[in-house]
Amino acid sequence: MAKAAEADGKKPPESVWTRPRRARREQPTLTRDQIVDAALELLDAEGLDGLSMRRLGTRLNSGATSVYWHVANKDELLELALDRVMGEVRVPRPDTRPDTAPGADGGAGGWRAAVAGYARDLRAMIHRHPWTVPLFGAQPMIGPNATRVLDEVIGAFDGAGLTGMALDNAMSLIADYVIGAAGSEASWQDVHGTATGEDWVQALGPYLAEIAERHPRLTAHIREVWVRDTADVVEARFDYGLACVLDGIEARTRR
């Protein structure tokens, strides 16, 4: 990997977690935690576009120079912010009882229940902080909170019989499913707010009538499904997808 990067003229990106902190003789007026707190307020209120070093300095009643004592650039600040919210994610421990019941969780315990619990907690965190979605995969997750979560996820898979690349692939599959599903859910909520499926069916009534002859199956499906409570549909869809992902992982471990 290192040789390939060198051949392409590229090198691995620097990380705030691997760069030594800058030394300063006098006591800094701001702490790293204060900076991250203010950044999170901007991110949660306005998203990634709402965060800039200048706006952050204004919010902290301090010049951007004070911020640069702790972070070299915006990318490092986002690393710190992402790791902070990863601290909200909890991963259940699998117990010794086998998974026997149907559904995403399997039974009362076991690796499926633990992994499903992690997936739902990660999803809830993304709903609270939808700005995180584009950041996953941009940098290695090596901060203290992220490494704690990843270590616990490895433990959650205990009993599934996975090691090495098989374990890594399973962990990535769960994360990719949750990030994709939660990101789509958060985007829809951000744009459409409290509009219900029935509101949409009524608003699209004339258009559905217009395309019904060309696309009879689709229009019938929309009229059947979209009139249901949106929140219930979203929850059922996520649970269905998670169960399918876990079923696939389990089926491969049994081969």
Dihedral of CA 123/143/176/240: which sign? negative
Handedness of CA 127, 131, 136, 139 (dihedral sign): negative
Alpha helices by DSSP H, listed for the chain, are: 2-7, 32-46, 53-59, 64-68, 74-86, 111-128, 144-156, 164-192, 197-203, 205-211, 216-225, 230-253
Triad 62, 65, 68: Cα angle to 5°: 115
What element of type H or E holds 131? none
The pLDDT value recorded for residue 214 is 96
User: Rounded to whole angstroms, how far apart are CA atoms 186 and 182?
Assistant: 6
Report the pLDDT value the prediction gives residue 24, as an integer from 0 to 100.
56
Using the Cα atoms of residue 35, residue 41, residue 42 and residue 47 in order, give the sign of their dihedral.
positive
pTM here?
0.85
According to DSSP, residue 142 is labeled: -
Q: Which two tokens stand for residue 9?
A: 């003229």
Which pLDDT score, from 0 to 100, does residue 255 have?
73
| 3-class secondary structure, 204 | coil
What type of residue is 58? Answer: T
Say what the pLDDT of residue 62 is.
76
d(CA 103, CA 236): 11
The pLDDT, as a whole number, for residue 101 is 47
Can you tell me whether residue 162 is helix, strand or coil? coil
pLDDT at res. 65: 65
**Residue 8's pLDDT is what?**
60
Contact 16, 79 (CB under 8 A): yes
3-state secondary structure of 37: helix
Q: What are phi and psi of 52, to 5 degrees?
A: -145, 160
What's the pLDDT at 107? Answer: 52
Q: How confident is the model at residue 100, as a pLDDT?
A: 46
Per-residue pLDDT of the chain (255 residues; tens, 9 = 90+): 444 455 566 666 678 877 776 655 555 578 889 999 999 999 999 999 999 988 998 888 876 667 777 888 899 999 999 999 999 999 999 875 555 444 566 555 799 999 999 999 999 999 999 999 999 988 888 999 999 999 999 999 999 999 999 999 999 999 999 999 999 999 888 877 777 778 888 888 899 999 999 999 999 998 888 888 778 888 999 999 999 999 999 999 887
